Structure 1
Protein backbone atom coordinates (compact mmCIF):
# COMPACT_ATOMS: atom_id res chain seq x y z
CA UNK A 1 0.00 0.00 0.00
CA UNK A 2 1.05 3.60 -0.57
CA UNK A 3 -0.04 6.97 0.78
CA UNK A 4 0.61 10.45 -0.57
CA UNK A 5 1.93 13.19 1.73
CA UNK A 6 2.26 16.31 -0.38
CA UNK A 7 4.90 15.42 -2.95
CA UNK A 8 6.05 12.32 -1.03
CA UNK A 9 4.82 8.76 -1.51
CA UNK A 10 5.07 6.42 1.46
CA UNK A 11 5.19 2.68 0.74
CA UNK A 12 4.33 0.00 3.28
CA UNK A 13 6.66 -2.97 2.79
CA UNK A 14 5.07 -6.02 4.40
CA UNK A 15 7.07 -8.60 6.30
CA UNK A 16 4.59 -10.78 8.19
CA UNK A 17 1.35 -10.68 10.20
CA UNK A 18 1.93 -11.40 13.87
CA UNK A 19 0.23 -14.32 15.66
CA UNK A 20 -3.07 -13.72 17.42
CA UNK A 21 -1.42 -14.27 20.82
CA UNK A 22 0.82 -11.22 20.28
CA UNK A 23 -1.74 -8.63 21.38
CA UNK A 24 -2.49 -10.18 24.76
CA UNK A 25 1.24 -10.53 25.46
CA UNK A 26 2.30 -7.12 24.18
CA UNK A 27 -0.60 -4.99 25.48
CA UNK A 28 -1.98 -6.97 28.44
CA UNK A 29 -4.32 -4.18 29.58
CA UNK A 30 -6.10 -4.28 26.20
CA UNK A 31 -8.42 -7.06 27.35
CA UNK A 32 -11.31 -8.24 25.15
CA UNK A 33 -13.65 -6.22 27.39
CA UNK A 34 -11.61 -3.04 26.84
CA UNK A 35 -11.39 -3.67 23.10
CA UNK A 36 -15.14 -4.30 22.85
CA UNK A 37 -15.81 -0.74 24.05
CA UNK A 38 -14.02 0.61 20.97
CA UNK A 39 -16.30 -0.66 18.22
CA UNK A 40 -14.32 1.20 15.54
CA UNK A 41 -11.46 -1.29 16.02
CA UNK A 42 -13.48 -4.01 14.28
CA UNK A 43 -12.96 -5.62 11.84
CA UNK A 44 -9.55 -4.28 10.78
CA UNK A 45 -7.71 -3.97 14.07
CA UNK A 46 -9.48 -6.52 16.26
CA UNK A 47 -11.65 -9.57 15.82
CA UNK A 48 -15.18 -10.02 17.12
CA UNK A 49 -13.59 -11.90 20.02
CA UNK A 50 -11.63 -8.80 21.08
CA UNK A 51 -8.27 -10.21 19.96
CA UNK A 52 -5.96 -7.48 18.66
CA UNK A 53 -4.38 -7.73 15.21
CA UNK A 54 -0.79 -6.63 14.63
CA UNK A 55 1.79 -6.91 11.87
CA UNK A 56 5.45 -6.32 11.07
CA UNK A 57 6.39 -4.05 8.18
CA UNK A 58 8.67 -1.21 7.11
CA UNK A 59 7.98 2.08 5.39
CA UNK A 60 9.93 3.34 2.39
CA UNK A 61 9.95 6.86 0.98
CA UNK A 62 12.06 9.04 -1.27
CA UNK A 63 12.69 12.44 0.34
CA UNK A 64 15.33 15.07 -0.27
CA UNK A 65 16.64 12.99 -3.14
CA UNK A 66 17.42 10.09 -0.78
CA UNK A 67 15.85 6.63 -0.82
CA UNK A 68 14.91 5.94 2.78
CA UNK A 69 13.74 2.88 4.73
CA UNK A 70 12.19 3.29 8.18
CA UNK A 71 12.94 0.23 10.34
CA UNK A 72 13.81 -3.19 8.93
CA UNK A 73 11.54 -5.68 10.66
CA UNK A 74 12.47 -9.09 12.05
CA UNK A 75 14.66 -10.53 9.30
CA UNK A 76 15.13 -14.00 7.92
CA UNK A 77 16.97 -16.83 9.62
CA UNK A 78 17.45 -15.03 12.93
CA UNK A 79 17.60 -17.11 16.11
CA UNK A 80 15.07 -15.46 18.40
CA UNK A 81 13.53 -16.29 21.78
CA UNK A 82 10.11 -15.16 20.55
CA UNK A 83 8.79 -18.08 18.45
CA UNK A 84 6.87 -15.66 16.19
CA UNK A 85 10.18 -14.08 15.16
CA UNK A 86 12.35 -17.20 15.12
CA UNK A 87 13.98 -18.37 11.86
CA UNK A 88 11.56 -16.60 9.50
CA UNK A 89 11.55 -17.24 5.76
CA UNK A 90 9.70 -14.33 4.15
CA UNK A 91 10.00 -12.65 0.75
CA UNK A 92 10.50 -9.21 2.32
CA UNK A 93 13.40 -8.25 0.04
CA UNK A 94 11.36 -9.12 -3.03
CA UNK A 95 8.52 -6.92 -1.77
CA UNK A 96 10.97 -4.13 -1.08
CA UNK A 97 12.32 -4.37 -4.63
CA UNK A 98 8.79 -4.46 -6.06
CA UNK A 99 8.07 -1.22 -4.21
CA UNK A 100 11.02 0.28 -6.09
CA UNK A 101 13.63 0.01 -3.34
CA UNK A 102 16.06 -2.84 -4.13
CA UNK A 103 18.63 -3.13 -1.32
CA UNK A 104 21.51 -1.64 -3.30
CA UNK A 105 19.43 1.50 -4.00
CA UNK A 106 18.70 2.40 -0.35
CA UNK A 107 20.57 5.50 0.85
CA UNK A 108 19.34 5.77 4.45
CA UNK A 109 17.93 3.33 6.99
CA UNK A 110 16.28 5.20 9.86
CA UNK A 111 15.78 3.21 13.07
CA UNK A 112 13.11 4.25 15.52
CA UNK A 113 14.90 2.12 18.13
CA UNK A 114 17.09 -0.96 18.49
CA UNK A 115 14.67 -3.82 19.20
CA UNK A 116 14.88 -7.15 17.39
CA UNK A 117 11.74 -6.60 15.30
CA UNK A 118 13.02 -3.27 13.97
CA UNK A 119 16.60 -4.10 12.96
CA UNK A 120 16.40 -7.64 11.57
CA UNK A 121 16.85 -6.91 7.87
CA UNK A 122 19.90 -4.77 8.60
CA UNK A 123 21.80 -7.95 7.78
CA UNK A 124 21.49 -11.10 5.73
CA UNK A 125 23.41 -14.37 5.93
CA UNK A 126 26.16 -14.77 3.30
CA UNK A 127 28.72 -17.60 3.45
CA UNK A 128 27.93 -18.17 7.10
CA UNK A 129 28.38 -14.51 8.09
CA UNK A 130 25.90 -11.75 8.83
CA UNK A 131 26.62 -8.94 6.38
CA UNK A 132 24.86 -5.60 5.76
CA UNK A 133 21.82 -6.01 3.53
CA UNK A 134 21.97 -2.41 2.27
CA UNK A 135 25.55 -1.94 1.07
CA UNK A 136 25.33 1.79 0.32
CA UNK A 137 23.09 2.87 3.18
CA UNK A 138 23.88 4.94 6.22
CA UNK A 139 21.98 3.61 9.25
CA UNK A 140 20.73 6.33 11.60
CA UNK A 141 19.66 5.97 15.24
CA UNK A 142 19.47 8.42 18.11
CA UNK A 143 22.65 8.70 20.14
CA UNK A 144 20.67 8.25 23.37
CA UNK A 145 19.34 4.91 22.06
CA UNK A 146 22.72 3.45 21.10
CA UNK A 147 24.45 4.65 24.25
CA UNK A 148 21.68 3.25 26.44
CA UNK A 149 22.15 -0.25 25.03
CA UNK A 150 25.93 0.07 25.23
CA UNK A 151 25.59 0.31 29.01
CA UNK A 152 22.64 -2.06 29.47
CA UNK A 153 23.16 -5.52 31.07
CA UNK A 154 21.85 -7.55 28.13
CA UNK A 155 20.53 -11.08 28.41
CA UNK A 156 21.60 -13.76 25.92
CA UNK A 157 18.87 -13.21 23.32
CA UNK A 158 19.45 -9.47 23.21
CA UNK A 159 23.22 -9.91 22.89
CA UNK A 160 22.57 -12.33 20.01
CA UNK A 161 20.38 -9.76 18.30
CA UNK A 162 23.06 -7.10 18.57
CA UNK A 163 25.69 -9.52 17.24
CA UNK A 164 23.66 -10.52 14.18
CA UNK A 165 21.77 -7.31 13.34
CA UNK A 166 23.48 -4.23 14.81
CA UNK A 167 27.21 -4.86 15.23
CA UNK A 168 27.82 -5.97 11.60
CA UNK A 169 26.45 -2.60 10.41
CA UNK A 170 28.41 -0.75 13.07
CA UNK A 171 31.61 -2.66 12.28
CA UNK A 172 31.16 -1.84 8.59
CA UNK A 173 31.17 1.86 9.51
CA UNK A 174 27.57 2.35 8.35
CA UNK A 175 25.95 3.36 11.67
CA UNK A 176 25.59 7.08 12.46
CA UNK A 177 24.33 8.46 15.76
CA UNK A 178 21.92 11.40 15.68
CA UNK A 179 21.67 14.02 18.42
CA UNK A 180 18.00 14.89 18.95
CA UNK A 181 16.93 18.11 20.62
CA UNK A 182 13.43 18.40 22.10
CA UNK A 183 12.01 19.30 18.70
CA UNK A 184 13.90 16.64 16.79
CA UNK A 185 16.15 17.11 13.78
CA UNK A 186 15.53 17.25 10.03
CA UNK A 187 17.55 14.43 8.45
CA UNK A 188 16.76 15.43 4.85
CA UNK A 189 14.32 18.03 3.52
CA UNK A 190 10.83 16.82 4.40
CA UNK A 191 11.86 14.06 6.83
CA UNK A 192 12.63 14.56 10.52
CA UNK A 193 13.43 12.33 13.47
CA UNK A 194 11.55 13.37 16.62
CA UNK A 195 12.11 12.07 20.16
CA UNK A 196 9.32 9.86 21.50
CA UNK A 197 10.92 8.20 24.55
CA UNK A 198 9.50 5.68 26.97
CA UNK A 199 9.33 2.43 25.04
CA UNK A 200 13.10 2.78 25.03
CA UNK A 201 15.03 5.82 26.34
CA UNK A 202 16.12 6.92 22.87
CA UNK A 203 13.05 5.91 20.90
CA UNK A 204 12.23 8.28 18.03
CA UNK A 205 9.46 8.60 15.46
CA UNK A 206 9.67 9.85 11.88
CA UNK A 207 7.79 12.94 10.73
CA UNK A 208 7.15 13.74 7.07
CA UNK A 209 6.22 17.23 5.88
CA UNK A 210 5.52 18.11 2.26
CA UNK A 211 3.17 20.43 0.42
CA UNK A 212 1.44 21.50 3.60
CA UNK A 213 0.70 17.88 4.57
CA UNK A 214 2.10 15.93 7.52
CA UNK A 215 2.52 12.27 8.41
CA UNK A 216 4.02 10.51 11.39
CA UNK A 217 5.53 7.01 11.45
CA UNK A 218 5.09 5.90 15.04
CA UNK A 219 7.63 3.16 15.62
CA UNK A 220 6.70 1.58 18.95
CA UNK A 221 5.54 4.64 20.86
CA UNK A 222 2.12 3.48 19.63
CA UNK A 223 1.80 -0.25 18.92
CA UNK A 224 -1.91 -0.42 18.11
CA UNK A 225 -4.84 1.97 17.40
CA UNK A 226 -6.48 1.03 20.71
CA UNK A 227 -3.80 3.21 22.34
CA UNK A 228 -5.17 6.28 20.55
CA UNK A 229 -8.34 6.02 22.62
CA UNK A 230 -6.54 4.56 25.64
CA UNK A 231 -3.01 6.03 25.83
CA UNK A 232 -2.79 4.61 29.34
CA UNK A 233 -2.48 1.13 27.81
CA UNK A 234 1.23 0.38 27.65
CA UNK A 235 3.42 -2.35 26.27
CA UNK A 236 4.84 -5.08 28.48
CA UNK A 237 8.29 -4.20 27.11
CA UNK A 238 8.15 -0.44 27.70
CA UNK A 239 11.29 0.41 29.65
CA UNK A 240 9.67 3.46 31.25
CA UNK A 241 5.88 2.89 31.14
CA UNK A 242 4.96 6.24 32.73
CA UNK A 243 7.11 8.16 30.25
CA UNK A 244 5.74 6.10 27.35
CA UNK A 245 2.18 7.09 28.33
CA UNK A 246 3.11 10.77 28.62
CA UNK A 247 4.75 10.57 25.21
CA UNK A 248 1.63 9.05 23.61
CA UNK A 249 -0.60 11.72 25.09
CA UNK A 250 1.69 14.58 24.07
CA UNK A 251 2.23 13.15 20.59
CA UNK A 252 -1.32 12.24 19.59
CA UNK A 253 -3.45 15.06 20.98
CA UNK A 254 -2.02 17.82 18.73
CA UNK A 255 -2.84 15.73 15.64
CA UNK A 256 -6.56 15.53 16.44
CA UNK A 257 -8.62 17.09 13.68
CA UNK A 258 -5.60 18.24 11.67
CA UNK A 259 -5.86 15.67 8.88
CA UNK A 260 -2.29 14.51 9.51
CA UNK A 261 -1.65 10.86 8.69
CA UNK A 262 -0.41 8.53 11.39
CA UNK A 263 1.20 5.30 10.17
CA UNK A 264 1.67 2.56 12.73
CA UNK A 265 4.72 0.36 12.44
CA UNK A 266 2.71 -2.57 13.82
CA UNK A 267 -0.78 -1.53 12.64
CA UNK A 268 -2.28 -4.11 10.24
CA UNK A 269 -4.02 -2.96 7.08
CA UNK A 270 -5.24 -0.31 6.50
CA UNK A 271 -2.27 0.84 8.67
CA UNK A 272 -2.67 4.62 8.16
CA UNK A 273 -5.28 6.87 9.64
CA UNK A 274 -6.10 10.11 11.40
CA UNK A 275 -6.64 11.05 15.03
CA UNK A 276 -10.08 12.53 15.60
CA UNK A 277 -11.88 13.88 18.65
CA UNK A 278 -14.43 11.56 20.22
CA UNK A 279 -16.35 13.12 23.09
CA UNK A 280 -13.75 13.94 25.70
CA UNK A 281 -11.14 11.67 24.15
CA UNK A 282 -9.68 10.51 20.87
CA UNK A 283 -10.22 7.71 18.42
CA UNK A 284 -8.77 6.46 15.17
CA UNK A 285 -10.19 6.97 11.69
CA UNK A 286 -8.65 4.81 8.98
CA UNK A 287 -7.32 6.43 5.82
CA UNK A 288 -7.42 4.53 2.55
CA UNK A 289 -4.20 3.98 0.64
CA UNK A 290 -3.59 2.82 -2.90
Structure 2
Protein backbone atom coordinates (compact mmCIF):
# COMPACT_ATOMS: atom_id res chain seq x y z
CA UNK A 1 0.00 0.00 0.00
CA UNK A 2 1.51 3.33 -1.06
CA UNK A 3 1.25 5.85 1.78
CA UNK A 4 3.69 8.62 0.86
CA UNK A 5 3.91 10.78 -2.27
CA UNK A 6 6.17 13.67 -3.19
CA UNK A 7 5.37 16.42 -5.66
CA UNK A 8 7.58 19.48 -6.18
CA UNK A 9 8.48 20.77 -2.69
CA UNK A 10 5.59 19.04 -0.90
CA UNK A 11 5.34 15.64 0.79
CA UNK A 12 1.95 13.97 1.19
CA UNK A 13 1.20 11.17 3.66
CA UNK A 14 -1.98 9.09 3.60
CA UNK A 15 -3.28 8.38 7.13
CA UNK A 16 -5.64 5.44 6.69
CA UNK A 17 -8.15 4.69 9.45
CA UNK A 18 -10.32 2.12 7.65
CA UNK A 19 -10.49 0.53 4.20
CA UNK A 20 -13.54 -1.66 4.00
CA UNK A 21 -16.85 -2.51 2.36
CA UNK A 22 -19.42 0.24 2.68
CA UNK A 23 -22.77 0.05 0.83
CA UNK A 24 -24.11 -1.85 -2.18
CA UNK A 25 -23.27 0.19 -5.27
CA UNK A 26 -26.88 0.60 -6.41
CA UNK A 27 -27.98 1.63 -2.91
CA UNK A 28 -25.31 4.32 -2.67
CA UNK A 29 -25.94 5.57 -6.20
CA UNK A 30 -29.73 5.58 -6.76
CA UNK A 31 -29.43 6.37 -10.49
CA UNK A 32 -26.94 3.59 -11.20
CA UNK A 33 -28.61 1.10 -13.56
CA UNK A 34 -27.73 -2.61 -13.72
CA UNK A 35 -26.32 -1.99 -17.20
CA UNK A 36 -24.07 0.83 -16.03
CA UNK A 37 -22.75 -1.31 -13.19
CA UNK A 38 -22.22 -4.31 -15.45
CA UNK A 39 -20.11 -2.21 -17.82
CA UNK A 40 -17.72 -1.30 -14.99
CA UNK A 41 -17.85 -4.35 -12.72
CA UNK A 42 -14.63 -6.02 -13.88
CA UNK A 43 -12.60 -2.81 -13.76
CA UNK A 44 -13.95 -1.88 -10.33
CA UNK A 45 -13.20 -5.34 -8.95
CA UNK A 46 -9.68 -5.21 -10.41
CA UNK A 47 -9.19 -1.87 -8.64
CA UNK A 48 -10.48 -3.36 -5.35
CA UNK A 49 -13.31 -0.81 -5.41
CA UNK A 50 -16.10 -3.41 -5.57
CA UNK A 51 -16.48 -6.84 -4.02
CA UNK A 52 -18.11 -9.97 -5.46
CA UNK A 53 -21.50 -8.94 -4.03
CA UNK A 54 -21.39 -5.54 -5.77
CA UNK A 55 -20.68 -3.76 -2.50
CA UNK A 56 -18.45 -0.72 -2.79
CA UNK A 57 -15.09 -0.71 -1.02
CA UNK A 58 -14.09 2.70 0.33
CA UNK A 59 -11.07 4.06 2.13
CA UNK A 60 -11.49 6.43 5.08
CA UNK A 61 -8.39 8.52 5.53
CA UNK A 62 -6.71 11.85 6.19
CA UNK A 63 -3.79 13.43 4.39
CA UNK A 64 -0.82 15.07 6.08
CA UNK A 65 0.67 17.66 3.73
CA UNK A 66 4.14 18.99 4.50
CA UNK A 67 4.96 22.18 2.62
CA UNK A 68 8.22 24.09 3.18
CA UNK A 69 6.41 26.16 5.83
CA UNK A 70 3.54 24.15 7.34
CA UNK A 71 2.37 20.70 8.35
CA UNK A 72 -1.31 20.48 7.43
CA UNK A 73 -3.87 17.77 8.15
CA UNK A 74 -6.62 17.56 5.52
CA UNK A 75 -9.79 15.98 6.93
CA UNK A 76 -9.61 14.22 10.28
CA UNK A 77 -11.46 11.00 9.52
CA UNK A 78 -13.71 9.06 11.93
CA UNK A 79 -12.33 9.40 15.45
CA UNK A 80 -12.67 7.44 18.66
CA UNK A 81 -15.33 7.37 21.39
CA UNK A 82 -17.90 9.08 19.16
CA UNK A 83 -21.57 7.98 19.21
CA UNK A 84 -22.34 7.18 15.55
CA UNK A 85 -25.11 5.43 13.66
CA UNK A 86 -22.74 3.28 11.61
CA UNK A 87 -21.75 0.28 13.80
CA UNK A 88 -18.08 0.12 12.73
CA UNK A 89 -17.71 3.79 13.67
CA UNK A 90 -19.79 3.82 16.84
CA UNK A 91 -17.78 4.38 20.05
CA UNK A 92 -14.72 2.75 18.56
CA UNK A 93 -11.51 2.81 20.59
CA UNK A 94 -8.80 1.45 18.30
CA UNK A 95 -5.31 2.92 17.87
CA UNK A 96 -5.20 2.56 14.07
CA UNK A 97 -5.25 6.27 13.29
CA UNK A 98 -2.64 7.31 15.82
CA UNK A 99 -0.39 4.44 14.72
CA UNK A 100 -0.71 5.64 11.12
CA UNK A 101 0.25 9.18 12.14
CA UNK A 102 3.27 7.87 14.03
CA UNK A 103 4.29 5.71 11.05
CA UNK A 104 4.33 8.88 8.95
CA UNK A 105 6.66 10.48 11.50
CA UNK A 106 3.98 12.89 12.71
CA UNK A 107 2.71 13.61 16.22
CA UNK A 108 -0.42 15.54 17.16
CA UNK A 109 1.85 18.39 18.28
CA UNK A 110 3.35 18.71 14.79
CA UNK A 111 0.14 19.74 13.03
CA UNK A 112 -0.02 23.47 12.33
CA UNK A 113 -3.38 23.55 10.52
CA UNK A 114 -6.35 21.19 10.29
CA UNK A 115 -8.42 21.79 7.15
CA UNK A 116 -11.82 20.14 6.62
CA UNK A 117 -13.24 19.79 3.11
CA UNK A 118 -16.67 19.61 4.76
CA UNK A 119 -18.16 18.74 8.12
CA UNK A 120 -19.52 15.22 7.69
CA UNK A 121 -18.88 12.59 10.36
CA UNK A 122 -15.97 10.85 8.64
CA UNK A 123 -14.10 14.09 7.92
CA UNK A 124 -14.11 15.70 11.38
CA UNK A 125 -13.85 12.81 13.86
CA UNK A 126 -10.28 13.32 15.06
CA UNK A 127 -10.78 17.07 15.38
CA UNK A 128 -11.43 16.28 19.03
CA UNK A 129 -10.65 13.59 21.59
CA UNK A 130 -12.29 12.64 24.86
CA UNK A 131 -10.46 13.97 27.91
CA UNK A 132 -12.05 13.38 31.34
CA UNK A 133 -15.52 13.42 29.82
CA UNK A 134 -14.92 16.54 27.68
CA UNK A 135 -14.21 16.94 23.98
CA UNK A 136 -10.95 18.81 23.48
CA UNK A 137 -8.97 19.60 20.31
CA UNK A 138 -6.79 16.62 19.37
CA UNK A 139 -4.12 18.79 17.75
CA UNK A 140 -3.21 21.31 20.45
CA UNK A 141 -1.03 23.60 18.34
CA UNK A 142 -3.25 23.71 15.27
CA UNK A 143 -5.68 26.22 13.89
CA UNK A 144 -8.75 24.51 12.47
CA UNK A 145 -10.05 25.87 9.16
CA UNK A 146 -13.76 25.63 8.30
CA UNK A 147 -15.32 27.22 5.23
CA UNK A 148 -17.88 29.88 6.18
CA UNK A 149 -20.72 28.54 4.02
CA UNK A 150 -20.17 25.02 5.29
CA UNK A 151 -20.04 26.10 8.92
CA UNK A 152 -23.18 28.25 8.59
CA UNK A 153 -25.10 25.37 7.00
CA UNK A 154 -24.33 23.04 9.90
CA UNK A 155 -25.07 25.72 12.51
CA UNK A 156 -28.54 25.94 10.99
CA UNK A 157 -28.97 22.16 10.83
CA UNK A 158 -27.77 21.74 14.42
CA UNK A 159 -30.27 24.39 15.58
CA UNK A 160 -33.12 22.22 14.25
CA UNK A 161 -31.85 19.00 15.86
CA UNK A 162 -28.44 18.18 17.26
CA UNK A 163 -26.00 16.88 14.66
CA UNK A 164 -23.67 14.59 16.68
CA UNK A 165 -20.54 15.14 14.59
CA UNK A 166 -21.00 18.90 14.68
CA UNK A 167 -21.67 18.87 18.41
CA UNK A 168 -18.70 16.71 19.42
CA UNK A 169 -16.13 17.41 16.70
CA UNK A 170 -16.66 21.01 15.53
CA UNK A 171 -18.28 23.12 18.26
CA UNK A 172 -15.70 22.14 20.92
CA UNK A 173 -12.97 23.44 18.59
CA UNK A 174 -14.85 26.72 18.15
CA UNK A 175 -15.43 26.99 21.90
CA UNK A 176 -11.69 26.42 22.50
CA UNK A 177 -11.04 29.38 20.16
CA UNK A 178 -8.99 27.23 17.81
CA UNK A 179 -11.21 27.69 14.72
CA UNK A 180 -10.84 30.01 11.74
CA UNK A 181 -14.11 30.38 9.80
CA UNK A 182 -12.93 31.49 6.37
CA UNK A 183 -14.10 32.68 2.96
CA UNK A 184 -13.65 30.73 -0.26
CA UNK A 185 -10.62 32.92 -1.05
CA UNK A 186 -8.67 31.63 1.97
CA UNK A 187 -5.09 30.50 1.47
CA UNK A 188 -2.14 29.46 3.62
CA UNK A 189 0.96 31.28 2.43
CA UNK A 190 1.68 30.69 -1.24
CA UNK A 191 1.17 26.91 -1.13
CA UNK A 192 -2.42 26.06 -0.12
CA UNK A 193 -5.72 27.36 -1.49
CA UNK A 194 -9.41 26.52 -1.16
CA UNK A 195 -11.41 25.52 -4.23
CA UNK A 196 -15.18 25.91 -3.79
CA UNK A 197 -16.81 22.61 -4.85
CA UNK A 198 -20.45 22.77 -3.68
CA UNK A 199 -23.02 20.03 -4.05
CA UNK A 200 -22.13 17.21 -1.70
CA UNK A 201 -22.70 19.84 0.97
CA UNK A 202 -23.42 23.54 0.35
CA UNK A 203 -19.97 24.71 1.44
CA UNK A 204 -17.83 21.76 0.39
CA UNK A 205 -14.31 22.79 -0.65
CA UNK A 206 -11.41 21.02 -2.28
CA UNK A 207 -7.84 22.07 -1.53
CA UNK A 208 -5.07 22.83 -4.00
CA UNK A 209 -1.41 22.66 -3.00
CA UNK A 210 1.57 24.05 -4.87
CA UNK A 211 3.49 27.26 -5.35
CA UNK A 212 2.14 29.07 -8.38
CA UNK A 213 0.37 25.98 -9.71
CA UNK A 214 -1.79 23.10 -8.52
CA UNK A 215 0.77 20.36 -7.93
CA UNK A 216 -1.79 18.37 -5.95
CA UNK A 217 -5.49 18.69 -5.25
CA UNK A 218 -7.53 17.10 -2.46
CA UNK A 219 -11.04 16.35 -3.69
CA UNK A 220 -12.84 15.43 -0.46
CA UNK A 221 -16.31 14.04 -1.16
CA UNK A 222 -16.56 15.59 -4.58
CA UNK A 223 -16.38 11.92 -5.59
CA UNK A 224 -16.47 8.71 -3.60
CA UNK A 225 -15.74 5.91 -6.06
CA UNK A 226 -13.93 5.36 -9.38
CA UNK A 227 -17.43 4.60 -10.69
CA UNK A 228 -17.97 8.37 -10.80
CA UNK A 229 -15.03 8.81 -13.14
CA UNK A 230 -16.78 6.68 -15.73
CA UNK A 231 -20.11 8.38 -14.97
CA UNK A 232 -19.36 11.89 -13.65
CA UNK A 233 -23.06 12.77 -13.40
CA UNK A 234 -23.65 9.90 -10.95
CA UNK A 235 -24.27 11.34 -7.47
CA UNK A 236 -24.53 9.36 -4.21
CA UNK A 237 -27.57 9.48 -1.98
CA UNK A 238 -25.58 11.51 0.56
CA UNK A 239 -25.29 14.61 -1.64
CA UNK A 240 -27.35 17.54 -0.36
CA UNK A 241 -27.69 18.84 -3.93
CA UNK A 242 -26.98 15.96 -6.34
CA UNK A 243 -27.56 18.07 -9.45
CA UNK A 244 -25.07 20.73 -8.33
CA UNK A 245 -22.65 17.99 -7.23
CA UNK A 246 -22.71 16.46 -10.71
CA UNK A 247 -21.98 19.83 -12.35
CA UNK A 248 -19.17 20.52 -9.89
CA UNK A 249 -17.64 17.07 -10.35
CA UNK A 250 -17.63 17.29 -14.15
CA UNK A 251 -16.04 20.77 -14.02
CA UNK A 252 -13.38 19.58 -11.56
CA UNK A 253 -12.49 16.55 -13.68
CA UNK A 254 -12.33 18.66 -16.83
CA UNK A 255 -10.08 21.16 -15.08
CA UNK A 256 -7.50 18.60 -13.98
CA UNK A 257 -7.78 16.01 -16.73
CA UNK A 258 -4.56 15.34 -18.66
CA UNK A 259 -2.52 17.64 -16.41
CA UNK A 260 0.36 16.84 -14.06
CA UNK A 261 -1.78 17.62 -10.99
CA UNK A 262 -1.90 14.79 -8.47
CA UNK A 263 -5.49 14.07 -7.40
CA UNK A 264 -5.75 12.85 -3.80
CA UNK A 265 -9.18 11.33 -3.20
CA UNK A 266 -10.82 10.84 0.16
CA UNK A 267 -12.45 7.46 -0.43
CA UNK A 268 -11.04 5.70 -3.50
CA UNK A 269 -9.40 2.40 -2.53
CA UNK A 270 -5.62 2.28 -2.21
CA UNK A 271 -3.51 3.83 -3.57
CA UNK A 272 -6.26 6.55 -3.62
CA UNK A 273 -3.96 8.98 -5.47
CA UNK A 274 -3.44 9.44 -9.19
CA UNK A 275 -3.68 11.70 -12.21
CA UNK A 276 -6.96 12.28 -14.03
CA UNK A 277 -7.02 11.16 -17.66
CA UNK A 278 -9.78 11.41 -20.24
CA UNK A 279 -11.51 8.16 -21.16
CA UNK A 280 -14.25 8.63 -23.75
CA UNK A 281 -17.00 10.79 -22.25
CA UNK A 282 -15.68 10.01 -18.82
CA UNK A 283 -12.35 9.85 -17.05
CA UNK A 284 -9.92 7.48 -15.39
CA UNK A 285 -7.44 7.85 -12.55
CA UNK A 286 -3.91 6.83 -13.50
CA UNK A 287 -2.28 5.55 -10.34
CA UNK A 288 1.17 6.78 -9.36
Q: TM-score, normalised by structure 1?
A: 0.90
Contact 1:116/1:161, CA 8 A, preserved across alignment: yes
Q: CA deviation at 1:213?
A: 6.1
Report the alpha carbon displacement of residue 48 of structure 1 after superposing the two structures with TM. Answer: 4.6
Q: Which runs of 5+ in 2 are unaligned?
A: none
Any residues of structure 2 matched to 1:11-160 within 5 Å, and which? 11-21=13-23, 23-30=25-32, 33-38=35-40, 39-44=42-47, 45-91=49-95, 92-152=97-157, 159-160=163-164
* Offset of residue 155 of structure 1: 6.5
1:213-232 to 2 correspondences below 5 Å: 214-232=215-233
Q: Quote the Cα distance in structure 2 between the aligned partners of 1:34 and 1:285.
A: 21
Q: Deviation at 1:123?
A: 0.8
Report the TM-score, using the length of structure 2 for normalisation: 0.91
Return closer, same or farther for 1:40/1:215 CA change in 2, 3 Å cut-off: farther
Whole-Å separation in 2 of the counterparts to 1:36 and 1:133? 43
- Equivalent position SS for 1:94: helix
1:277 to partner: Cα distance: 1.6
Q: Deviations over 1:33-88 (max 9, x none)?
A: 42331343232222354332101100001124111000001101110112232122
- Name the counterpart of 1:239: 240
Specify the alignment match of 2:275 in structure 1: 274
Q: What per-residue deviation string (whole Å, max 9, x for no partner) do you get for residues 169-215 of structure 1?
A: 110000101111xxx44223221111000111110011112586621
Measured against aligned partners, the alpha-carbon deviations of 1:210-260 in whole angstroms (never above 9, x if no partner) come to 586621111111111111121111121111111101000111112121132
Per-residue CA shift, 1:76-110, capped at 9, x if unaligned? 11101122321223321121122122101111000
Q: Report the CA distance shift for 1:279/1:222 in structure 2 as closer, same or farther (over 3 A).
A: same
The runs of 5 or more residues in structure 1 that have no matched partner are none
1:147 shift after superposition: 1.1
Root-mean-square deviation over aligned CA pairs = 2.0
CA distance in structure 1 between the partners assigned to 2:213 and 2:181 by the alignment = 29
Q: Mark the CA change 1:172 to 1:241 in structure 2 (over 3 Å): closer, same or farther.
A: same
Query: Given the superposition, is the C-alpha separation of residues 179 and 130 from structure 1 closer, same or farther in structure 2, using an over 3 Å criterion?
Result: same
Match of 2:252? 251
- Given that 2:9 and 2:68 are in contact with CA atoms closer than 8 Å, whether structure 1 keeps it comes out as no
Change (3 A) 1:28 1:127: same
Provide the C-alpha distance between the structure 2 equivalents of 1:32 and 1:83, rounded to a whole number of angstroms. 28
State the alpha-carbon separation in 2 of the partners of residues 21 and 280 from structure 1: 26
Q: Distance in 2 between matches of 1:93 and 1:22?
A: 29
How many residues are treated as equivalent by the alignment? 283
What secondary structure, in the 3-state scheme, does the structure 2 residue paired with 1:93 have?
Answer: helix
